[in-house]
Amino acid sequence: MDTTPSALVESPGGSPLGPPPSAYKDVVRFWELRRIAYNGVLAVVVILWIAISWPHFRPAFTWQSLLFLIFAAALANLCYCAAYLAEFPMHTSAIRLGGTRWRWTVWLAGTLFAVLVANYWIADEIYPYVTHPFSH
């Protein structure tokens, strides 16, 4: 894929209209395939927390906690969509940041940030409030 500014589609008058539709398909293909890995990484974080501290989390398994988990997963996926806020304007500008190599850096940084937030949320907001079954 040509990433030079001359790769922009030009109107009959000579002004750029933006990238061809195939560029948007490329963006969606890249980010949506990596969404699977992003969700997998976050699922591993949650599973490890539960497995490592199982006796502590056992009382937390309720229908309400399942609804919260679904809400948190939906929120994490909504945050994942922030990549499009950076990506689509890049395709319509003449500045391309050296092609698409930066995508992997953004994906990795965003995934690591999501892992950090998930660990903080579990450690600070959920873990302290789950009662230990042997503490009575």
What pLDDT, on the 0 to 100 scale, is given for residue 114?
A: 96
Q: Give tens-digit pLDDT for 67-91.
A: 888 999 999 999 999 988 878 777 6
Q: What is the mean pLDDT of the chain?
A: 78
What pLDDT, on the 0 to 100 scale, is given for residue 13?
A: 43
b/e per residue 8-32 (b: at least 16 CB within 10 A) = beeeeeeeeeebeeebeebbeebbe
Kindly indicate the confidence band of residue 94, based on its pLDDT and cuts at 50, 70 and 90: low
Kindly indicate the confidence band of residue 20, based on its pLDDT and cuts at 50, 70 and 90: low
pLDDT at 135 over 70: no
Kindly indicate the confidence band of residue 23, based on its pLDDT and cuts at 50, 70 and 90: confident
